[in-house]
Amino acid sequence: MFQGNTLLNPITGVELNSLFNNVDFVQSIYTTRVSPDPSLAVERIARFYGVKPSVSGDNVSDMITIREKLVEIASDASILYAFALTAPHTHWPVGKPVIYSFISNKDCYHIGHLTIKEDCFYTPTSFVFSEDGPIPYEWADETIVIDKHELQQCYEIVHAINSNLLIKELPIGIAIDFRFRNSLKKWPQRSLEFPSSNPSHSVIQRGLVENNVNLNTSMEQVSWHALSELLYSFSEPEKLLLTELSALVEKANGVIEKEAIISNLVDAILSEKE
């Protein structure tokens, strides 16, 4: 039986292919933890907790617990910007690794069943929890450069979170959000994944892409922030304002409109600080 904790390191393409030839490993991911599409992943969370996650995820008890544990565990609070909570899923047939690759001439990422190069290294970036330790289900190839010290900090935290959870078979995962930034300690960049003309992968682009207005606005939200309120001190009026803003976002029509509201709000706040 594989040990999840041994998988918290970059591995070669040979090792990655070998991992997916391990029946125990593949079954441990896809039988109960990683859903075959986004809608089923969110449905699994809803069944487990009796409620569909809100935009903030604040109505899911274990999301709050994980966020609070992150604050307790991290000695450097800025590394918490590295994480996102996920509804673990795949868009592709099981049995092959899901890989991120940065396409520099188009300033975008491809994610999916990309070609595995045996002599290249692949860095685990998305995890599900288990009794055997955190199990990766997505990797980044060598086109994606992540600071080694920050990455090691993240791995230690992911391992500690897995060890601290009372229930290891949660329908929630955790990911290292490296997209479009040169440090995991910086504020996460907005990005959106959408289908490609090539069925073997999707495309991830920065922010709100203009042609995304043609996409289905009912797309499922499958990622949530990982920052606990314990990091901040809010007054009662500020808490009330946050509640009102959350209610406004909840009423939006689909993920793209919700992201637009949040994006405009963040941009307004940042412009005020300049």
- Dump pLDDT digits (tens) for 219-256: 688 999 998 876 665 566 655 666 666 667 666 666 66
Name residue, tokens 């029509």: 253
Domain carrying residue 106: 4-230
Residue 43 is encoded by which pair of tokens?
Answer: 């449905």
Q: Are residues 224 and 240 in the same domain?
A: no
Same domain, 33 and 169: yes
The number of folded domains in the chain is 2
Quote the pLDDT of residue 114: 95
Instruction: Scan for tokens 């996920």, then name that residue.
Output: 86
Q: Which residues, other chains included, contact 49 with Cβ-Cβ below 8 Å and sequence gap of 6+?
A: 60, 61, 62
Considering the chain, what is the average pLDDT of its residues?
Answer: 85
Which strand (E) or helix (H) includes residue 70?
helix 61-73
Q: Residues 268, 153: one domain?
A: no
- The answer to whether residues 34 and 128 touch, using CB atoms and an 8 Å cutoff, is yes
Residues 73 and 25 grouped into a single domain: yes
Based on the fold, state whether residues 242 and 226 are members of the same structural domain. no
Across the range 14-19, mean pLDDT stands at 95
Q: How many residues does the chain have?
A: 274
Question: What's the gap between Cα 59 and its chain centre?
Answer: 18
Average pLDDT over residues 2-29: 86
Domain identity same for 164 and 41: yes
Place of tokens 């793209």: 256
CA angle at residue 73 from 146 to 182, to 5 degrees? Answer: 20
* pLDDT class of 39 with cuts at 50, 70, 90: very high
Are 26 and 100 in the same domain?
A: yes
Higher pLDDT residue, 101 or 262? 101
163/255 same-domain check:
no
Tell me if 172 sits within 8 A of 95, measured CB to CB: no
Say which residues have a Cβ less than 8 Å from residue 146's Cβ, sequence separation at least 6.
Answer: 123, 140, 176, 178, 184
- Is residue 177 within 8 A of residue 82, CB to CB? The reply is yes
Task: Identify whether residues 223 and 270 lie together within a single domain.
Answer: no
The Cα–Cα gap between 186 and 201 comes to 27
| CA 213 to chain centroid | 23
In DSSP terms, 270 is beta-bridged to none
Does 123 lie in the same domain as 171?
A: yes
Between CA 215 and CA 196 the distance in angstroms is 12
Q: With bands split at pLDDT 50, 70 and 90, how would you rate the model's confidence at 27? A: confident
The answer to whether the CB of 154 falls within 8 A of the CB of 83 is: yes
- Confidence at 94, pLDDT banded by 50, 70, 90: confident
Q: Are 108 and 204 in contact (CB under 8 A)?
A: yes
CB 185 within 8 A of CB 81: yes
What are the residues whose beta carbons fall under 8 Å from the beta carbon of 117, sequence distance 6 or more? 13, 141
Torsion on CA atoms 216, 217, 223, 229, rounded to nearest 10: 180
Residues 201 and 238 in one domain: no
Clarify whether residues 102 and 223 are in a common domain.
Answer: yes
- Digit-coded pLDDT (tens) for 116-156: 999 999 999 999 999 989 999 999 999 999 999 999 999 99
Give the angle subtended at the CA of 81 by the CAs of 77 and 85, to the nearest 5°: 115
- Quick: pLDDT tens for 40-93: 999 999 999 999 999 889 999 999 999 999 999 998 889 999 999 999 999 998
Q: How many CB atoms lie within 10 A of CB 240?
A: 11
